Structure 1
């Protein structure tokens, strides 16, 4: 007969202990290094962008300035020379400088560690615009200070927004009449795009609105022929006719003839 032996009271069950996994020090050091680099970048960015760090101490100007005083330009941009070398208000500096009457464009360059270098170009005026404006080589209107209007420029009279068109037309007209020895003194375009030219000898040419280029070409053909001999006596040549022209003579200088010129 088998006898079952009972377990002794108070006996404990032994639990197996797992061995510890080795510490991956390389991975931990990599993580710590990454955190430190991030912290350095954050603190470095805050430090560099602080207004007291790398302040702008000098402003230099490059460019052929004829109608703009260098000191006036520096004074205009100075209120915007704030912040550090890296976050200075470049757009504000450019806008303030280009607000001066003769300044066409400013490029701003940072020169380490404390200088802003301004590369400045001025407007090149090719004509006067209406009463108090000027037109530059791109057909843009700008307004100089009173008393600083250049002498000897061609006068353009036209509606707002017409300066580019009139500048192109001026070049075309002057090139066309060069061979006649005529120089444009003023060019007028009204709201209906009707054109009128006054030359330096005070002769006027009316081209009207329609087919102005063809009318100019017809005037040149006629002026190269029989009309040329009456040049000093002509006040107005009106080309606003389909197949002809009309001439208004200067007072007391009408030629003694009957017929068609």
Structure 2
């Protein structure tokens, strides 16, 4: 029994004395492979960069969705004049800025598409009124020149006049007046804000109202209530109303009744 234990112990001691059979890779070979891998990566990057530089210019596709024929042609003409680089290196923000620089453009989307190239999608401003005779204005008071000159001075629109910087104020005033006078069945046809901040309003029934910039809203609201109540029976006889008074107003009557009242 003791002999058997000794033999097992000798075998185990022989295993511990056996030399390690793992292959030792020289350090120089490791460094060589590391340098080789790094070199390949650098080469791939250089070749990739060269391929991007040498790639043909990306095609610009202008979407006609939501645009009229004139608007589409206008945007296409601008995009045709742009110099773009390859599909991956083209500056999309620059194209977006150029498109938003068009007065009639409201929103712009510029994206990359594998099949079509660089896609430019634009939404036009929606005019709600004329601004003078050469411009339009949208609901937010943005004044712009339309892509098609035939869109100017549309009869279905009211006409706003004044300084361009005051366009949002004029638009807001027109919308408010239309709300107040809607129960009377009339709406604003022309509204002017003079440099002295005097309002001249003409309604589609021919009624003209002039009011200063002092308590303007209260005066216009009070007049709408008077026209709907005390002056209801004679409303069609009124040509104009001057509200530029602290304690009243004047009425100019129709020429068939050449008289004037002061309230």
Shift of 1:155: 0.5
CA distance in 2, matches of 1:67, 1:163: 28
Q: Which residue number in structure 2 is paired with residue 211 of structure 1? A: 215
Is the Cα contact below 8 Å between 2:67 and 2:123 reproduced in 1?
A: yes
Is the Cα contact below 8 Å between 1:81 and 1:93 reproduced in 2?
A: no
Matches within 5 A, 1:106-125: 106-112=108-114, 115-125=117-127
Give CA-to-partner distance per residue, 1:227-256, whole Å, 9 cap, x none. 12111111111122222111011212346x
- Match of 1:49, SS state, is helix
Alpha-carbon spacing, 1:27–1:253, altered in 2? closer, same or farther (3 Å)? farther
- 2:52 is the alignment partner of 1:48: yes
Q: Which runs of 4+ in 1 moved over 6 A?
A: 258-261
Q: Which residue number in structure 2 is paired with residue 228 of structure 1? A: 232
Shift of 1:104: 2.7
Is the Cα contact below 8 Å between 1:108 and 1:117 reproduced in 2?
A: yes
Shift of 1:148: 2.9
Q: How does the TM-score come out when normalised to structure 1?
A: 0.80
- Match of 1:135, SS state, is strand
Which one has the bigger helix percentage?
Answer: 2
Alpha-carbon spacing, 1:188–1:25, altered in 2? closer, same or farther (3 Å)? same
CA RMSD in angstroms comes to 2.6
- Structure 2 unmatched runs, 5+: 1-24
Q: Which residue number in structure 1 is paired with residue 14 of structure 2? A: none
Report the count of equivalent residues.
237
Is the Cα contact below 8 Å between 1:110 and 1:116 reproduced in 2?
A: yes
Q: How does the TM-score come out when normalised to structure 2?
A: 0.79
Shift of 1:62: 4.5
Alpha-carbon spacing, 1:32–1:95, altered in 2? closer, same or farther (3 Å)? same
CA distance in 2, matches of 1:115, 1:161: 39
